[in-house]
Amino acid sequence: MVRANLELDEQTNRVLNIVKAQHGLKDKSEALNLIVHEFEQEIMEPELRPEFIKKMKKIQEQKAIIALPRNKHYIISR
């Protein structure tokens, strides 16, 4: 775990205290962790999420399927 000494403005401090109280957290550190986690889930671009990268790697490993356009007719001779 990383320790950080932060300087917060009054508004940020109030918001952290509100989040802390609403969620029954023991300190502002837990409130900040919760806010950052919510940010990651709702705002961060999916391409940057670790789950997205893992999903894309799994898809890359799969065998490719070639799909032909439906609006064209193909004649297959034998």
For residue 2 the two structure tokens come to 């990383």
pLDDT tens digits, residue range 8-34?
Answer: 999 999 999 999 999 999 999 999 999
- Return the SS3 of 44: coil
pLDDT tens digits, residue range 21-77?
Answer: 999 999 999 999 999 998 877 777 766 778 888 888 888 888 877 776 776 666 666
Domain boundaries, the chain: 10-61
Q: Answer whether 0.85 is exceeded by the pTM.
A: no
- For residue 26, CA distances in Å to 7, 13, 47, 61 come to 20, 15, 33, 44
- Structure letter (DSSP) for residue 63: P
